[in-house]
Structure formats: structure tokens, C-alpha cells
């Protein structure tokens, strides 16, 4: 496995891969890797000729300086895991490599960034679009792999690819969960033992909401029940729970089975903000 830090190092490698007509699978990460990330790497190694991973904690997508400062950094462990998982190349750029000067360009994803994550994290999707566009442009992968847990981010990236005519294809990999159902997340590292147990509320409420919807209980009642459970929980603050179209992120006031539907949720557990989602109809 080769680790590189600049575009100049990558260009001759990419040219050699291109000359051999090999296809590059790309897994962009911010490090602090867990099995969910490694699932993406496994998908790439199983279907692509070469697997490339990036590790970069992107400052432009944090709308909280405290959140950025507290993001876990585990580079040595990350690299060891990636080598064992079969990654061929790992791009670890500095901030000045990706942002040699302040960027003036602004991404506006329209309706996609007016709701849920876009509403509660203003500027977040601009930062996501900016760094992903830079990575796609610099690295020129054939396919990129993203986790379903960040469902709205996936929708944003698909729109980015479509609107800017990137040739990279996007593959979405199902959320990897702990045995008790908690969605794997780098942020879980910041939870203490009690908070880790409390964080299960996100998944248990999603699962109950899905069950209730499919047995005919109206969405407004289902949503109210979730909100009530969180209102009584200790150290958990619900930010939103919503029924959405998983690609357009249209928010629905009632549940019908005439198209794909997912439930999305976000909540603070202590000081740690967590998100999750479950598909109801795919």
C-alpha cells in the first residue's frame, strides 16, 4: 500500500493505471475508521482493479469549530486497517494541499440543503460539495463508494456528479451497525459508556417507527410517539425525525407506498450529534 500526500505524486500513478486500462475505486473518508468504512473498501476491492482511499478532515464542512477540533484523529490505526483491507493507495493531503488559497466559489444545492442536515448545519453541504469536487477532479476515480448512513450527503453528491458532469459513478453501501443496532460512526468514539447506551434510542425508535408505519399507523402519530420518547429520555435531545424521499429529500406529511421512503433522525447524545436513517420502501 502506498501513502501519498500531493497531486504531483498521484499523477504518474494514475497515468500508469489508466494506461493499463484498470478501473479505480475511491473511498473518501475523514479517518477515524470503523467497519462501515472498511465495508466500502471491501466493495471497492471486490469490484474494481485498484482501490484508493482518502483521509482528510475537511474544515469547510464543519459549521462548528468545536466539532472540528474534537473530531478524532487516528491516522496510524487507519493506515494499518486499510493495508489489511487491501487498499492499494491512500491519499492523506494537508489542508494547504486541498485549499492552497481561500475558495470563493459557493455550492448551492437548492432544495436539498434547505431541509434536515442542510437546515440544521448551514454551510455543511457547501463544504461537502467543495471537497468531493476537488477530490474527484484531482484523483479521477471511476467509481466512488459512500455509506447509506449519510443519506442526504449521498443525495447531494449524486446531484454534484450529475450537474457538473463528473464521469465517476456512485455506489451506495448499506449502513453497518453494531450488534445492538447502533449505526457505526466515527463520532461514537466520543461517547462515554452511559451515552453509548443512550445512543441506541436513535435506532430503536427508527425500527419502531418503521414497524408502526408498515402496520398502518399514520405518520403524524408515529412521529409524535418518537418525539415523546425523546422528550422523556435523559441526556438525549431530538433535533428532527422526518419521513423523506431518499433521493430528492422531499418531506412527507403522510405515508404512502407509491415510491421510495426513508425515515431520517438526528439527535444530540450528551455533546455528540448523531444521525441515522432506515429505508421503509426502496
Catalytic annotation, residues: 37
Is residue 184 classed as helix, strand or coil in its secondary structure? coil
Task: Report in angstroms the alpha-carbon separations of 51 from 24, 54, 56.
Answer: 6, 10, 17
What are the strands, taking DSSP E only, across the chain?
2-4, 24-29, 50-55, 89-91, 143-147, 169-173, 236-244, 261-269, 272-281
Rounded CA-CA distance 153/247 in Å is 10
Rounded CA-CA distance 217/143 in Å is 40
59: Cβ–Cβ under 8 A, 6 or more apart, which residues? 68, 95, 99, 127
Rounded CA-CA distance 81/226 in Å is 37
Q: Cell numbers 402519530 label which residue?
A: 221
Rounded CA-CA distance 34/185 in Å is 7
Grid coordinates representing 267 are 439527535
Rounded CA-CA distance 39/252 in Å is 31
168: Cβ–Cβ under 8 A, 6 or more apart, which residues? 26, 136, 141, 142, 143, 144, 161
Amino acid at each position: 500500500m502506498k501513502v501519498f500526500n500531493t497531486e504531483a505524486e498521484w499523477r504518474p500513478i494514475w497515468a500508469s493505471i489508466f494506461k493499463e486500462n484498470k478501473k479505480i475505486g475511491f473511498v473518501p473518508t475523514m479517518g477515524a475508521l470503523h467497519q462501515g468504512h472498511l465495508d466500502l473498501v471491501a466493495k471497492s476491492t471486490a469490484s474494481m482493479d485498484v482501490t484508493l482511499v482518502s483521509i482528510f478532515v475537511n474544515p469547510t464542512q464543519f459549521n462548528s469549530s468545536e466539532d472540528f477540533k474534537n473530531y478524532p484523529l487516528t491516522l496510524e490505526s487507519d493506515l494499518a486497517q486499510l493495508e489489511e483491507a487491501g487498499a492499494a493507495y491512500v491519499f492523506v493531503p494537508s489542508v494547504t494541499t486541498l485549499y492552497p488559497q481561500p475558495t470563493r466559489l459557493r455550492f448551492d444545492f437548492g432544495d436539498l440543503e434547505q431541509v434536515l442536515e442542510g437546515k440544521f448545519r448551514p454551510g455543511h453541504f457547501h463544504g461537502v460539495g467543495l471537497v468531493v469536487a476537488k477530490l474527484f477532479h484531482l484523483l479521477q476515480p471511476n467509481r466512488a463508494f459512500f455509506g447509506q448512513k449519510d443519506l442526504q450527503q449521498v443525495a447531494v453528491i449524486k446531484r454534484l456528479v450529475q450537474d457538473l458532469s463528473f464521469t465517476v459513478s456512485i455506489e451506495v453501501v448499506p449502513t453497518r451497525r453494531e450488534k445492538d443496532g447502533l449505526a457505526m460512526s466515527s463520532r461514537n468514539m466520543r461517547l462515554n459508556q452511559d451515552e453509548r447506551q443512550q445512543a441506541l434510542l436513535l435506532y430503536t425508535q427508527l425500527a419502531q417507527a418503521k414497524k408502526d408505519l408498515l402496520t398502518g399507523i399514520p405518520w403524524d402519530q408515529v412521529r409524535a410517539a418518537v418525539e415523546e420518547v425523546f422528550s422523556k429520555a435523559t441526556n438525549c435531545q431530538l433535533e428532527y425525525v422526518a419521513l423523506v424521499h431518499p433521493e430528492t429529500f422531499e418531506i412527507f406529511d403522510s405515508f404512502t407506498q407509491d415510491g421510495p421512503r426513508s425515515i431520517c433522525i438526528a439527535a444530540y447524545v450528551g455533546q455528540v450529534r448523531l444521525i441515522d436513517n432506515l429505508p421503509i420502501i426502496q
